[in-house]
Chains A and B, each alone.
Chain A
Amino acid sequence: MRSRKSTMGRVSDAMRHKGALALAIGVLAAALGLAACGDDTVGGGGGGEVSTAEAGNVKGKLTISNWPGYIDPGKEGTVKEFEKDTGVSVDYIEDVNDNDGFFGKLQPQLEQGESGGRSIFVVTDWMAKQMYDLGYLQEINHDDLPTAFANLLPSLESPAFDPERKFSLPWQSGMGGIWVDTAKAPGIKSVNDLFDPKYKGKVTMLSELRETVPLVMLAEGIDPVEATNEDWLNAIDRIKSASESGQIRRFTGNDYTEDLTSGNIVAAIGWSGDASLVENDDAEWRMPAEGCSLWSDNMVIPVGAPNTAAALGWMDYVYEPEVAVDITEYVEYISPVEGVKELLEGRGSELAESQLTFPTEEFTADCTDQDSPPELEPVNEAWQEVITG
């Protein structure tokens, strides 16, 4: 298919080659020039002072980023009530599907001291701490949140990741445990059962490091809060073999609920409040024999948040028991507000009796708080290897 070139053809070829070369050099020069204007180090967290969120008149516009399914969206819902009571117009966005994913999306802007227009994020304990350590959050003054700190459950007043509640306020809490399809696998009672070859290929685990590995460590009798890096790595190894042998079908996010619904799996590590998402009457959440993991999703105020006054107003508002009870009724997770249980009993709701929404001390006696490993990097790397196959 090659045409034969005349001398003229070859000359113009050469010219064209030169043209291409010149262009390439020009582009490279331009790029280097552009690069010279940039920094030597990119990223690394915002240094400098941490600001405190300013209180003030509650009015104007408020944008909140939260997980899906965490509030009643309807016309009678909490958001609408808040708007009516305060006159604030709320833009409630359900775009936190994953702590890391959300963080990854916002990080470049947070780095610049901007929050993408949002005044409140709701993220899990350890992510809140990570954001705070990087200087991406503002601190909250307890005096600005009278209702909240009056009604906050004592057990949540001083968590390990934020002992003075300087930057976070719980939204809802929950438990990580096992979802079981009781019709197909009634015998599953412990995380160890998930490794039983009987259920090969019909089991999933959460892809979140701090959800899955602590549970596995608990099943081995290790207390995750005191675990050494080696303990973490050993547990990860065990999970890795199970994954490679095909015992574990997938590592999931929230989508384990789909697999349960469609019958692809018989058991999954999952969250206590997801009943509304699992459309399988045979499936139920079980407390693992050796204990569950406890976590909270927290409201935080990012740097550069517009209208922090309204944000603080919202945070205080949802701690009024009458408001909190509506949220719990819809969401079915554990409320951080005192007095909600009594109100529910008054309404005759089943939820008041449920261990999933109001777990007793006994119920969660063996449960562990979610925590990060002593040295995050090597553990994270090992974990990522397992997840990405």
Chain B
Amino acid sequence: MSLRQRLVPYWLLGPGLLWLIVFFVVPMYFMGELALRSGTLTTGYTFSWEWANFPDSLSGHTEQIVRSLFYAGTATLLALLIGYPLAYAIAFRAGRYRNLLLFAVIAPFFTTYLIRTIAWKTILSDDSPVVGVLQTLALVPQDGRVLATSGAVIAGLTYNFLPFMILPLYANLERLDLRLVEAAKDLYSSSRAAFVKVTLPLTMPGIVAGVLLTFIPALGDYVNAQLLGGTQQSMVGNVIQSLYLTQRDYPEAAALSFLMMALILIVVMAYIRFAGTGAFMGDAEDEKA
């Protein structure tokens, strides 16, 4: 290969990598740097190796952190339970309607995040017929409500992040070679055993990718908690937003964000170490780096 030819991939990758480094990696550094400052808006933020910001931000907000983990975890689980069969159906049973269904999955994006969530807020308001039905079905206590509860926030998170679960699942399922399942059945396996022993393990990379792409963003969300929650439903995202935009305590906000980022990096690196970076992109075997 000539030198020019060997350089081609670098030219192709260059702009993108540069953009990502300058506008994703470097800001992380700045966030870390900001986290080590101290001060207020009036006095200015001076760089003072204020390592205390890190443990302080954690200890001050453990409740929200734990709550976020719980909400995001539950929402992810629900999304998996709802999304897997749907992805399966689209991959194998949809036939001509496959593209239509896939479009339906990302269609909500076009109405903007806020409007969707506000629509849910209206649907679930105290006097709405929907809540009335839920009360009749005794899913909600008679004088209870749906909004301003943890349930509402989890429901909102599940709904809004469902596409992020479905799409990786679908991509992975779509590659599944059904002949393997048939083979299992030929060997006298029941449908259920075939699913558990063949399909599930083979689609595990997709499941993990979906879980990661859902859990982590949900962890940092604040819109659902703000619109659908009450005073006791704030998540880490709400805290960070409040610190940055309302209180303007940039150092603490940065410290908290940085810690979140560190947590995520650890989880993602662990997964990649285990399954290779290619697995994250939805394929089972290619690209083991």
State yes or no: do A and B touch (Cβ within 8 Å): yes
Q: Which residues of A contact B229 (CB under 8 A)?
A: 250
Q: Does A1 contact B (CB under 8 A)?
A: yes
Q: Which residues of A contact B148 (CB under 8 A)?
A: 201, 249-250, 264
Q: Does A52 contact B (CB under 8 A)?
A: no
Majority secondary structure of chain B interface residues (helix, strand, loop or mixed): mixed
- Whether the Cβ atoms of A43 and B41 lie closer than 8 Å is yes
What CA separation (Å) do A263 and B279 show in the bound complex? 49
Q: Which residues of B contact A201 (CB under 8 A)?
A: 145, 148, 230
Q: Which residues of A contact B39 (CB under 8 A)?
A: 41, 43-44
- Whether the Cβ atoms of A263 and B44 lie closer than 8 Å is no
A43 and B45 contact, Cβ closer than 8 Å, known pairs A31-B29, A107-B248: yes
Interface membership of chain B positions 228-245, coded 1 if the CB is closer than 8 angstroms to chain A and 0 otherwise: 011111100011001011
Q: Specify which of B44, B246, B285 is in contact with A44 (CB 8 Å cutoff).
A: B44
- Whether the Cβ atoms of A34 and B26 lie closer than 8 Å is yes
Q: Which residues of A contact B239 (CB under 8 A)?
A: 388
A263 to chain B, nearest CB (A): 4
The closest CB in chain B to the CB of A377 belongs to: B40
Beta-carbon contacts under 8 Å, A4-63 to B: 16, 27-28, 30-31, 34-35, 40-45
- Whether the Cβ atoms of B33 and A35 lie closer than 8 Å is yes
Q: Specify which of B21, B63, B126, B247 is in contact with A389 (CB 8 Å cutoff).
A: B63
What CA separation (Å) do A145 and B43 show in the bound complex? 34
Interface membership of chain B positions 125-160, coded 1 if the CB is closer than 8 angstroms to chain A and 0 otherwise: 111100000000000000001011000000000000
- Whether the Cβ atoms of B248 and A133 lie closer than 8 Å is no
Q: How large is the interface on A (under 10, 10 to 19, 20 to 34, 35 or more residues)?
A: 35 or more
What CA separation (Å) do A309 and B182 show in the bound complex? 81
Q: Does A104 contact B (CB under 8 A)?
A: yes
A41 and B230 contact, Cβ closer than 8 Å, known pairs A104-B248, A263-B126, A264-B147: no
- Whether the Cβ atoms of A264 and B145 lie closer than 8 Å is yes
A38 to chain B, nearest CB (A): 9
Q: Does A158 contact B (CB under 8 A)?
A: no
The closest CB in chain B to the CB of A134 belongs to: B42
Q: How many A-B residue pairs have CB under 8 A?
A: 114
Q: Does B199 contact A (CB under 8 A)?
A: no
Q: Does A77 contact B (CB under 8 A)?
A: no
- Whether the Cβ atoms of A3 and B44 lie closer than 8 Å is no
The closest CB in chain B to the CB of A133 belongs to: B42
Q: Which residues of B contact A141 (CB under 8 A)?
A: none
Q: Specify which of A16, A44, A101, A389 is in contact with B238 (CB 8 Å cutoff).
A: A389
Q: Does B74 contact A (CB under 8 A)?
A: no
Q: Which residues of A contact B230 (CB under 8 A)?
A: 201, 246, 249-250
Query: B-side interface residues toward A, CB under 8 Å?
Result: 21, 25-26, 29-30, 33, 37, 39-47, 60, 63-64, 67, 122, 125-128, 145, 147-148, 229-234, 238-239, 242, 244-248, 250, 275-276, 279, 284-285, 288-289
29 A-B residue pairings within 8 Å (CB atoms): A1-B279, A1-B284, A31-B26, A31-B30, A34-B26, A40-B46, A41-B46, A43-B41, A43-B44, A43-B250, A44-B41, A104-B245, A105-B245, A107-B41, A201-B145, A244-B232, A248-B231, A249-B230, A250-B148, A250-B229, A262-B126, A264-B125, A264-B147, A377-B40, A387-B231, A388-B64, A389-B64, A389-B67, A389-B231
Query: A-side interface residues toward B, CB under 8 Å?
Result: 1, 3, 16, 27-28, 30-31, 34-35, 40-45, 100-101, 104-105, 107, 133-134, 201, 243-244, 246, 248-251, 262-264, 377, 380-381, 384-389
